[in-house]
Amino acid sequence: MTKSIYTKLVAIIIVLILALMAVVGAFLMRGVRNFYINEFYTQMREAFSGAVMAGDLRDAADEPDAAARMADILRANSGQLGINTGTRNYYILDGLTGAYITGSDPVAGPQLAVTRNILTAIDGSEGYASNSSDDYMDVALPIRGESGSFIIYIIDNKETVSNLNAEIFNIIIEAIGIGLLFAILLGLLLAKTMVTPIQSLTKAAEKVAAGDFSESVENESRDEIGVLSRTFNDMAGQLERNIEDLQHAEQMRKEFVANVSHELRTPVTSIRSYAETLCDAGKTMDPETEQRFLEVIVRESDRMTKIVQDLLTLSRLDAGSIAFDFQTFSFEKSVRDVYNAQLLEAQKRRHNFGLEIEDGMPEIRGDRARVEQVLINMLSNAIKYTPDGGRIRMTAGTKDGCVWCTVRDNGIGIPKGDIDHVFERFYRVDKARSRESGGTGLGLSIAYEIVQRHNGRMEIHSQKGKGTAITVTLPVGGPDE
Ligand SMILES: Nc1ncnc2c1ncn2[C@@H]1O[C@H](COP(=O)(O)OP(=O)(O)OP(=O)(O)O)[C@@H](O)[C@H]1O
Ligand SMILES: [Mg+2]
């Protein structure tokens, strides 16, 4: 990965440098050439339009040795014309044919080509035309005198500008060389700043893949990689929590299965041992004991039936396969019915049993049978977990669009640490005592599920040794509101 990002970065920087240098070089070289050409023509116009030299040349054309005289004048003005015999020369040509007469370079002179400007001068006009694609630039001026017609011809082979451009080209090549060196270093540096966080991300991702969530990626930068790092941390955190939830659920499931097995084994064991004793004894057992044993067997099988039924209810609630029968019904009447149904049991235990209901309670929407199941469990718990002769109050009323029912007792209470757990399946504060009274620890967990489905809530306040108050609250409009 390091290598590929590095190569890409270096390649990009190299291409950028090359493109930039090519553009700069082209503009520079063209600028230098144009400047040089403009300079040449400006210089020529200034020189030849000046009164002194132009007048001298015209006078010289009247002399018998006109060509030599004119050449002398040009030589005298070499400085002003930039004549250097190397790249720029002057010539005197025949005004009718353009043929060489004399000039600063007698070797090149006879081979001069007849250029556009020379033709213009032969026609009698001043030839100042230029074409930047030519490898020369020239000026041809016609001069007529008594000794005939001549052409003053200045030609520059552009070598100076070519040399200059060659120099510029060399400089640019050198600059590209240095630029490439920079590209490699800069690429390394950039790749490092980009690759380091990516590498730590990769390392963290590998750890997450292996189930280790301890490492979070440190990156505070606000660029894309910083955002990616933070997103990654969020994702890892989310995953970790999900896995913890899954592990917790799995743990709960195992405990549940263990609990179910244990709860079912207890009655089966006692049924079996009582039945065995009955079998072994045969006719020798006295009828009273036999009756007592049979009652135990019936009670234990009832207990098994209750456990199995409760489990079935719970699993259907979990699976959502229980169809709730939502109807409008009188909550007040349900409270009264449940109270009356438990009255006998409460009297048997000599409890001070009372019911108080606020006036004008509204009808509510809910599953009546299920709501009553909740109330029954609340009340039967109070009866069960309050020593004989206790005080139990069932109260109900309306508040904030909800109906509520509280069952308050002065029984054994629930220790602080257990209150949070009583809604868990099979959870009983005192297992032995609870089982003795027929409890399986499923009642409140079923009640909790039912109340949830009604969008209601349950609250327990309890103090060990003092008593318990448990309240159910249900929205009047049912679960949809
Ligand atoms: N009013 C109460 N006073 C004291 N402890 C209570 C009271 N209500 C519930 N508990 C405690 O909470 C536990 C769970 O109650 P829950 O109704 O779920 O089970 P249970 O009554 O033991 O069995 P089940 O309701 O299935 O017959 C009880 O075993 C008991 O320890
Ligand atoms: Mg109960």
Atom 27, ligand 1: which residue's CA is nearest? 439
From the CA of 310, give the closest atom in ligand 1.
26
In a domain, 214, yes or no: no
Mean pLDDT by 10 residues, the chain (481 residues): 75 89 91 91 89 87 91 91 89 94 91 93 93 90 91 92 90 90 86 84 90 81 86 91 92 90 91 94 88 94 92 89 92 97 96 96 96 97 95 97 97 94 90 74 94 96 96 93 56
Atom 19, ligand 1: which residue's CA is nearest? 441
55 and 92 both lie in a single domain: yes
In a domain, 97, yes or no: yes
Of 138, 162, 186, which residue is a domain's last?
Answer: 162
CA distance 263 to 303: 10
Atom 9, ligand 1: which residue's CA is nearest? 381
393 alpha carbon, closest ligand: 1
User: What pLDDT is attached to residue 214?
Assistant: 82
* Mutate which of 306, 381, 424 for ligand 1 pocket (most atoms within 8 A of beta carbon): 381
- CATH number (domain holding residue 249): 1.10.287.130
User: What pLDDT is attached to residue 2?
Assistant: 56
Q: Does ligand 1 come within 6 angstroms of the Cβ of 338?
A: no
Q: Does ligand 1 come within 6 angstroms of the Cβ of 444?
A: yes
How many angstroms does the Cα of residue 428 sit away from the middle of ligand 1?
Answer: 6
User: What pLDDT is attached to residue 281?
Assistant: 87
Residue 376 Cα to chain centre, angstroms:
52
312 and 407 both lie in a single domain: no
User: What pLDDT is attached to residue 123?
Assistant: 94
Q: Does ligand 1 come within 6 angstroms of the Cβ of 303?
A: no
How many angstroms does the Cα of residue 357 sit away from the middle of ligand 1?
Answer: 24
User: What pLDDT is attached to residue 3?
Assistant: 64
CA distance 338 to 449: 19
Return the CA Rg of the chain.
56
282 and 385 both lie in a single domain: no
249 and 128 both lie in a single domain: no
Kindly report the length of the chain: 481
Q: Find all residues with CB under 8 Å of 145, minimum gap 6, and list them.
A: 58, 59, 60, 61, 62, 63, 66
Of 118, 133, 162, which residue is a domain's last?
Answer: 162
Q: How is residue 161 written in tokens?
A: 């500008």
Q: How is residue 141 written in tokens?
A: 């001026």
How many angstroms does the Cα of residue 414 sit away from the middle of ligand 1?
Answer: 9
Q: Does ligand 1 come within 6 angstroms of the Cβ of 478?
A: no
Q: How is residue 276 written in tokens?
A: 């065995």
User: What pLDDT is attached to residue 143?
Assistant: 93
Q: Does ligand 1 come within 6 angstroms of the Cβ of 377?
A: yes
**Beta strands 363-366; 327-330: pairing state:** antiparallel
Q: Does ligand 1 come within 6 angstroms of the Cβ of 60?
A: no
- Mind spelling out the 3-state secondary structure of the chain? CHHHHHHHHHHHHHHHHHHHHHHHHHHHHHHHHHHHHHHHHHHHHHHHHCHHHHHHHHHHHHCCCHHHHHHHHHHHCHHHHCCCCCCEEEEEEECCCCCEEEECCCCCHHHCCCCHHHHHHHCCCCECCCCCCCCCEEEEEEEEECCEEEEEEEEECCHHHHHHHHHHHHHHHHHHHHHHHHHHHHHHHHHHHHHHHHHHHHHHHHHHHCCCCCCCCCCCCCCHHHHHHHHHHHHHHHHHHHHHHHHHHHHHHHHHHHHHHHHHHHHHHHHHHHHHHHHHHHHHCCHHHHHHHHHHHHHHHHHHHHHHHHHHHHHHHHHCCCCCCCEEEEHHHHHHHHHHHHHHHHHHCCCEEEEEECCCCCEEEECHHHHHHHHHHHHHHHHHCCCCCCEEEEEEEEECCEEEEEEEECCCCCCHHHHCCCCCCCCCCCHHHHHHCCCCCCHHHHHHHHHHHCCCEEEEEEECCCEEEEEEEEECCCCCC
Q: How is residue 445 written in tokens?
A: 């967990």
Q: Does ligand 1 come within 6 angstroms of the Cβ of 374?
A: no
304 and 392 both lie in a single domain: no
31 and 104 both lie in a single domain: yes
130 and 265 both lie in a single domain: no
308 and 370 both lie in a single domain: no
User: What pLDDT is attached to residue 400?
Assistant: 94
In a domain, 150, yes or no: yes
52 and 123 both lie in a single domain: yes
CA distance 224 to 426: 51
140 and 63 both lie in a single domain: yes
User: What pLDDT is attached to residue 481?
Assistant: 56
In a domain, 181, yes or no: no
Give me the residues near ligand 2 (ion), CB cutoff below 5 Å: 377, 381, 443
Domain that holds residue 261: 225-317
Q: Does ligand 1 come within 6 angstroms of the Cβ of 122?
A: no
